[in-house]
Structure 1
Amino acid sequence: MKSTMPKTLNLLKAQYAFTKSDEIFLAQMKPDSEAHVEKFSDGYYEFIWKLGQAPDFFETDTALMKHRDLIRQWFTGLFAGSYETDYFLQLGKIKEAHAKLEIPTHHMMALFHFTPIFAMTLIQKLYGEDKFLPERIKALEKILAINLDILTGSSRETETKHASSITKLENKLLKYLKTIGSYFNYLLMGALVMVATFSIGLFGYDVYLLFSGASSIERGILTTLGSLLILWSAIELINEEIKHLRGGSSALAAFLTLVIAALIRKILIVSLSPEKAKEILMYGLLVLFLSISYWLISLTTKSRNN
């Protein structure tokens, strides 16, 4: 790797037109960078803290101090004056350290947003009257561009490969789960059709009892209404499940409607027996709780649609 490193570095320098003159201008500013490295470090951490990014990565004081040392070395290294194999190997170590701390690329980008602002302001202040001020600024821009290319370019490649491998695994898993889910949805649809069929049978049976005189008119009317309510809820649930199969939202609210309808039918029947007051109260509380759940689900669905 070291044998190919010089060739790669020369290509990189040529790409950014980084010359020996640039190295000399940067080396001349090294004492100033060392004198202001603490100010740079403090300003940088204040900057990322305002962005709300840093606390997630620096869980301990030790991790923070290690990162501070890296940032100080990196900043003064910008003005090293010698940018050969050792310098770029040091950049590789910094990249590896960021990887160990699990600091993502966008955090590195914050560094390259703050550094030019700080460094340009410092150079303007210290070398404002220098006739080589434009050359000094240009040299800094070039070395920052090279650093950005090395530190974030490879990080992006690593993250992309990692994300790609995860995506392939997730896609296979999701495809498998989607296939199983579709089978269960069709099975559920078949069960709902059976429920609707039985509801029709129950409704017909209640009508038969009403007209045959096997039950009182009051009881017959109430049970028939209850059966009709269940049948209506089952049909509504089937319609909602069809929408769900076509990519719509879950039919949970419609399912609750069916359960509530069944309980209401039970209450209508039990209400004819005064001695079952406790049972009626229990069913009433169940209907109340289910109705609240139905209202909350409907409210959530409505807010999502809006």
Structure 2
Amino acid sequence: MNLSMNYRDFEKLLYFFEIREKDVKNMLFLGQILLPYEEEFADAFYNNLMKFDDIKEFIPEEKLNKLKTTIREWYRKLFSGKYDSEYFLYLLRVAKVHVEEGIPPHYIIVAMNFVSRFCTRRIARFFSEKAKKFIGQFECESSETEILEDFVLEEVFERMEDLTRSLRKLLALNEDVLVSYYVDSELRMFLESGKFERFTINFSKKFALFVDVAILLGLMLLATFVVVLFGIDISHVFHGDLSHGLIAALGDLLILWTVLELLNSEIRFMLGGELAVSAFVSVALAATIREALVVSLEHDKPIEFKLGIGFLILIQGIVYGIVKWFEIKREKKRGKR
């Protein structure tokens, strides 16, 4: 599943929305207040959505029970206090279902607004009842009662504001992740395409995944061959060809290092990151350098051949430098955002 976000993006979201340990504790506390309303929430959530006539074409009556189960699960996870990569992937799966069902993204915003109102009302009710119960324990004169009420209400208001602030942060995080899934240009094209186009896109995605796996396996196989080649070149050392064995083995290690870098780059790409093009160029450069090292020991090779390899290394080095420069520049721009 090629997404427009990755794990690093989610960590940035936690930072951007200022979700800290205090917010996690607040959400756990809110769970004690709001989780008992789980069934009521699920019913109210879909009753609120069903007042919009056009939503019924996306959520037919026969799917209502299943969707209520889904929203109850989301509600529990909201107050679980576990906001990590697993939670991030869960939100992406939820977004994927919304996209596949063709549900317009503005309903996500409508839903989050409802969740905020539903929770805030019950938080206010909880603290109102607690405050009344607390004040009722004291028998005071009217003037003293007013002072006590003002003090209690001020404390209650501050606590409620702190809790609802944490709630708003988590709801904003959910909304951002879910809506961001829609923003991806590839998914927009998918939503606007016909049945044949959707089939083609789905097939191409699966084929792309197959190719990615094939590349990954190929790189693993290539790394194995390089290790074998390294062993063969080392064996030359013990057969009297010391200089050739050491130079060739050094080149093998260089190739192995670049293949490992390419393997890690491919893994990051499959996890949703960007593919480092410089890794591909570095493999070609390392292979050419190894060839140049070996050729330098072969005196029967014409000087033109050796100069040609040197010129090829120069060109590859320039290309590698240009590609790497663009990657670093892009990374710096991203860091400033």
Taking structure 1 as the reference length, what is the TM-score of the superposition? 0.49
Larger radius of gyration: 1
Structure number with the bigger relative contact order (C-alpha 8 A, sep ≥ 6) is: 2
Taking structure 2 as the reference length, what is the TM-score of the superposition? 0.44
